[in-house]
Amino acid sequence: MSVSTPYLELQDLGKRFGAFQALSEIQLSIRRGEFVCFLGPSGCGKTTLLRIIAGLEQQSCGRLIQDGRDISREPPAGRDYGIVFQSYALFPNLTIAENVAYGLKGQTRAWRRARVEELLDLVGLSGTGAKYPAQMSGGQQQRVALARALATAPGLLLLDEPLSALDALVRVHLRNEIRALQQRLGVTTIMVTHDQEEALAVADRIVVMNAGRIEQVGTPLEIYRQPASPFVADFVGKVNRLEAVSEGDHWVRCGNKRWYCPPGSGGQTAAFHPGARLALYLRPEDRMIEQQLPEDHPGLCWGKVQQVEFLGGNCLARIAIEGLDNQPVDLQFSLNQMDEFGVAAGRQLRFALRTDRLRVFPAAGSAS
């Protein structure tokens, strides 16, 4: 099997629960060794999709191909994966070693013992085999669950919100460990999460889901920089939304400003028909501030700082931009820029919006 052949293919999957359509037209190819995150709000269908891949739920239509094998009707035991759930799901009356060894059948005891030690070592828990789950912290229990999922060296690792029951610091620490471990083992991994920061931090590719459908599939940078829909722009990262009207030929009017938004700025071309109402999306960091900003910069603005939110290494300033019709914009500045340019409530600032970074979509509810 060549390296470029997809390891897992989801072909036109759909799922109904009675009259409720939980998943529709799911098409996805996952490469061998990839770390993919299913990201979306509560109820969008990501856990259902993961459960279908695991064979814990039967799809209503469509096919699944894993490593060239049609597994559409295969029961869970016939599929090649390990799974970690949100709730650690360890057996409380078994020791850590017994929990990890649970899936290891048909080998000698000595082999099993060595394998369990190796796995505990892999997840940073050497020497804890004799303990019971209740004696471990949440983060440690989740590592045990990870060791158990990896025990049979599965081709596919499925993680269903594995970090969401942990507190913030442990979560960040463990997600980095999971990513490092995944890279070391090269195991194809799918993680369900509703935490966009988590998905951006660990995934090779993110599958953004909304209301049972895939909205966009892309690398974290693509998803962040080139969101394919207003939903993705809103769901992933902070973003400003500005109302505008198309003037045709890729020019847009926003308040009394005119900006050129080249083809490829998202949305459908129909959005650019003259008179069409548009929504422009701009990330807080897509601005320029420097002493030498040229007068003819296309995104040049004057604005009054209304408030400043301090975020640690940088700040978010809400700015009322002259000529933008009461549409204040949140822009991010470093602390050095804050000092140099006097980014403080009540101050006037001269800066430029990166209009080349605007994403343009038809305004919600407008005909496009």
Instruction: List binders of ligand ATP among 190-249 (CB under 6 A).
Output: 194
**Nearer to ligand ATP by C-beta: 195 or 330?**
195
Question: CB of 194: closest distance to ligand ATP in angstroms?
Answer: 5
- For the chain, helix, strand, coil in percent to 5 are 25, 35, 40
**Minimal distance, residue 211 CB to ligand ATP, in Å:** 9
Q: Is 42 in the site for ligand ATP (CB under 6 A)?
A: yes
By CB under 6 A, the residues from 168 to 197 that bind ligand ATP are 194
Name the β-bridge partners of 362: 278
Secondary structure letter of residue 116 according to DSSP: H
For the record, the structure tokens of 85 come out as 């759930």
Neighbours of 113 (CB within 10 A): 15
Residue number with CB closer to ligand ATP (40 or 328): 40
Question: CB neighbours of 204 closer than 8 A, spacing ≥ 6?
Answer: 34, 35, 36, 219
* Of 44 and 119, CB closest to ligand ATP: 44
Q: State the CB neighbour count (10 A cutoff) for residue 106.
A: 6
Amino acid identity, position 319: I
Contact pattern from residue 344 through residue 363 relative to ligand ATP, giving x for each residue in contact according to CB under 6 A and a dash for the rest? --------------------
User: For residues 51 and 257, which CB has a smaller minimum distance to ligand ATP in the complex?
Assistant: 51
230-252 burial, b at 16+ Cβ within 10 Å, e below that, comes to: bbbbebbbebbbbebebbeebeb
- Does residue 257 interact with ligand ATP by CB under 6 A? no
Q: Give, for 175, the enclosing helix (H) or strand (E).
A: helix 168-185
Contact assessment for residue 350 and residue 299, using Cβ atoms and an 8 Å cutoff: no
* Of 215, 213, 196, 219, the residue nearest 39 (C-alpha): 196
* 36 token code pair: 């993919």
Q: Is 26 in the site for ligand ATP (CB under 6 A)?
A: no
Choose the stretch contacting ligand ATP; rule: CB under 6 A; options: 35-43, 76-84, 259-267, 345-353.
35-43
Q: What are phi and psi of 249, to 5 degrees?
A: 50, 30
Identify the residue whose tokens are 């942990």.
166
CB of residue 132 vs ligand ATP: minimum separation in angstroms? Answer: 29
Token readout for 359 is 């994403």
- Using rule CB under 6 A, residue 48 touches ligand ATP: yes
Q: Is 45 in the site for ligand ATP (CB under 6 A)?
A: yes
Q: Is 10 in the site for ligand ATP (CB under 6 A)?
A: no
Identify which range of 15-23, 29-37, 111-119, 134-142 contacts ligand ATP by CB under 6 A: 15-23
Residues 6+ apart with CB under 8 A from 78: 55, 71
Q: Does the protein bind ligand ATP through residue 140 (CB under 6 A)?
A: no
From the list 44-52, 126-134, 306-314, 327-335, the region that binds ligand ATP by CB under 6 A is 44-52
Q: Which is nearer to ligand ATP, 189 or 337 (CB)?
A: 189
Cβ 100 to ligand ATP shortest distance, Å: 26
Cα 31 to chain centroid, rounded: 17
CB-nearer residue toward ligand ATP: 2 or 42: 42
CB of 255 to ligand ATP, least distance (A): 38
Tell me if 58 contacts ligand ATP by CB under 6 A.
no
Q: Is 55 in the site for ligand ATP (CB under 6 A)?
A: no
Distances (CA, A) of 336 to 289, 303, 329, 345: 11, 19, 20, 16
Q: How far is the CB of 71 from ligand ATP (least distance, A)?
A: 20
143 touches ligand ATP (CB under 6 A):
no
Count of other CB atoms within 10 angstroms of residue 217: 18
44 binds ligand ATP (CB under 6 A): yes
Q: Which residues bind ligand ATP (CB under 6 A)?
A: 17, 20, 22, 40, 42-48, 194
